[in-house]
Amino acid sequence: MQYGPVALVKCDSYQNDVVDGAVNRCLELLGGIGRYIKPGMKVLLKCNLLSRRRPEEGITVHPAVVEALVKTIQSAGAIPIIADSPGGLYTDRVLKGIYRVCGMEDVHRRTGALLNYDTGVMEVSNPDGKMAKRMTVIKILQDVDAVISVAKLKTHELTLFTGAVKNLFGVIPGMTKAEYHLRMKHLNDFSDLLIDICEYVKPVLSVMDGIVGMEGNGPSAGDVRHIGALLISPNPYALDVVSASLVGLPLERICTIKSAEARGLCSSRLDDMELVGDSFEQLYIRDFKLPNSRQVGFLIRALESNNRIAEFLKVYLRPYPVVMYDKCVGCGDCARYCPPKIISMAEGKPKIDLNGCIRCYCCQELCPHKAVVIRRNWFFRLFK
């Protein structure tokens, strides 16, 4: 069986006309925007706007990609709305700061695209969900006719890869994400939750900003890496498979792909994807760096099993967060957003009680100063 199609197009720069051309070409390869968006529709662009970071930091989707999508949606006679609910508080003040720094206010000024400031939330029923039959989601979802997931090609300390499927965790409002992390401490459960969310949202299209991505300790403390590709697909799972393969990430270790495959939504073999557009081989990146926490594959797999020995070993062997005090400015974000609340602030600096740490790595993801690093213990280092 073939999954997709996935349009892959070479795109080497964020210059507006270059990105416009790449987005249009991808959509033409997929049958044209009119196949997915009808006139009069309200279309939510669920962008990965992880935190208040400038576009060149490679953490959030680039405004040139969002702008190209906005113009395409408008040309189809529909109304684009830019939205996200990053980790931390979900307030209009926080959103304003994120839109400004991430370049979305500029997109709004240039195109008239709406920026979502509705911070309401709602409970929804999700009867087909495996982990969540009921969910709390951002309210704007009920006011739109279609969703497009706009993701950034990056590594992730917890899930190895953050793509179009993981991006939709951002429809769970701010601090509610911490509750879900606490409830679904096991990676397999968390990844099933991500599939539940993706199946609930059912994006009509998913877009991968792989022009410049992030390798190493993503999603926020890694290194910026030029990749030179833009990808779009109506199938978010197939898009993730092709995007992760493009940078050589091991598909069998990406939990969302494994969970999607187990539910018959996708395959974890690149050969099963229907690829259209430019040559995969020519765009392939050979030496993309993995996150620190995910470099010893067989140990990670052993630790992800559900047995009691693994549960015991996990406490001692799983990579753990460490605060680099020379970089820490004492803002307290890590303590505020740590799901089990095991980070305390003492004399203006955070202290982590690793006994209660669920290894969700939110502290690393949300630290605005790259002051939290994920460290492997001696056993992992030995195998590395």
Summarize as ranges the residues that interact with ligand SF4 (CB under 6 A).
321, 323, 328-334, 338-340, 342-343, 350, 352, 357-363, 367, 369, 371-372
Q: Judging by beta carbons within 10 Å of its beta carbon (0-12, 13-18, 19+), is residue 89 exposed, middle or buried?
A: middle
> Could you tell me the smallest distance in angstroms from the CB atom of residue 356 to ligand SF4?
7
For ligand SF4, give the closer residue by CB, 62 or 376.
Answer: 376
For ligand SF4, give the closer residue by CB, 107 or 358.
Answer: 358
Nearest to 245 by CA among 263, 269, 214, 220: 269
State CA 151 to chain mean position distance.
Answer: 6
At residue 6, what is the residue type? V
Mutual orientation of helices 63-75 and 104-111 as an angle, nearest 10°?
30
Neighbour-count burial for 192-218, b at 16+ CB within 10 Å, e otherwise: bbbbbbbbbbebbbbbbbbbbbbbbbb
For ligand SF4, give the closer residue by CB, 71 or 359.
Answer: 359
Nearest to 300 by CA among 233, 254, 337: 254
For ligand SF4, give the closer residue by CB, 117 or 312.
Answer: 312
> Could you tell me the smallest distance in angstroms from the CB atom of residue 322 to ligand SF4?
10
For ligand SF4, give the closer residue by CB, 88 or 170.
Answer: 88
For ligand SF4, give the closer residue by CB, 144 or 374.
Answer: 374
Element spanning 4, H or E: strand 3-10
> Could you tell me the smallest distance in angstroms from the CB atom of residue 15 to ligand SF4?
34
> Could you tell me the smallest distance in angstroms from the CB atom of residue 337 to ligand SF4?
7
Strands 205-215 and 223-233: antiparallel
Residue 90, helix vs strand vs coil: coil
For ligand SF4, give the closer residue by CB, 45 or 255.
Answer: 255
Element spanning 71, H or E: helix 63-75
Please give the Cα distance from 83 to 67 (Å, whole number): 13
Q: Taking every pair of C-alpha atoms in the chain, what is the biggest distance, in angstroms?
A: 59
> Could you tell me the smallest distance in angstroms from the CB atom of residue 319 to ligand SF4?
9
Residue 321, helix vs strand vs coil: strand
| Contact (CB, 8 A) for 139 and 120 | yes
> Could you tell me the smallest distance in angstroms from the CB atom of residue 172 to ligand SF4?
16
> Could you tell me the smallest distance in angstroms from the CB atom of residue 331 to ligand SF4?
4
> Could you tell me the smallest distance in angstroms from the CB atom of residue 363 to ligand SF4?
3
Helix then strand then coil, in percent of the chain rounded to 5, is 40, 25, 35
Residue 155, helix vs strand vs coil: strand
